Amino acid sequence: MKYTLIANLKSYKTLHDLQEWLDVIVHNLSSLSTDKLYLAPPAPYYYLFQDVSQFKLLAQDVSPFPPGSYTGAINVDHLLDFHIQGSLVGHSERRRYFHETDSEVVNKIDLLLDRHLLPIVCLNQDNLRTQIELLDSRQRSHCLFAYEPTSAIGTDHPADPQIISQAFQLIADLTGTQTILYGGSVAPDNVTDYLNLPYFGGFLVGHAILDPLVLVHLVKQLQ
């Protein structure tokens, strides 16, 4: 694949639906390159994907604490047991509905990096500069950044590529990264709007890929 594609299943789908979804994907992706395809499934179903070669696995979230007395928390060592390669951090839905704080974001990144897992740090337009300035140099240089304006997430109103271009430039200037993901209502009819932006490295996609054939379509577009 030319670009990274992260498929975020959010809190959708239960076992039966997920098995059907996976069957369609596996059947249709068999002849395509999927080396940069990542799936972030709901945590109870990590086990379903252990032998699926088409995806690298990500967590949608991880505990800001190390293993210990933190009831309900899924920590970095749990991710390692299921061959998860990294985790989303600071997704705007976590910030908005679960009140995730900047200091929790920083803790999660550190715990992931200590275990050699990849933090995919979601940034949005609210205090973008501050969100980055909180990070130290190790964090800035080892995270993959995804820029996702909240107004574009789950709305079917993807962001204006010009606005994304300006945000990418600021993120690149502050972190030194050369590769940034875009997320927010990505779908097959809007991917080409972003492919030529400087620093563009791929997509973080949510609700559109609940239809497995849309995910297959996106993988084909990014070959």
Among 76, 148, 171, 201, binds ligand PGA (CB under 6 A): 148
* 3-state secondary structure (DSSP) of residue 4: strand
Choices 106-114, 132-140, 161-169, 206-214 (CB under 6 A): range interacting with ligand PGA = 206-214
Binding to ligand PGA by residue 153, rule CB under 6 A? yes
- Cβ pair 84, 58 in contact under 8 A: yes
Structure token pair of residue 71: 């009831």
Kindly tell me the burial class for residue 26, based on how many C-beta atoms sit within 10 Å of its own C-beta (0-12, 13-18, 19 or more). Answer: middle
> In terms of CB distance, is 117 or 123 closer to ligand PGA?
123
Nearest distance in Å: CB 31, ligand PGA = 26
Binding to ligand PGA by residue 154, rule CB under 6 A? yes
Nearest distance in Å: CB 204, ligand PGA = 4
For 146, phi then psi, to 5°, come to: -125, 125
Is-catalytic flag, 20?
Answer: no
Q: Exposure pattern of 165-179 as b/e (b: 16+ CB <10 Å)?
A: bebbeebbebbebee
> In terms of CB distance, is 81 or 97 closer to ligand PGA?
97
Which residues contribute to the site for ligand PGA (CB under 6 A)? 8, 148, 153-154, 183-186, 204-208
What residues act catalytically? 91, 148
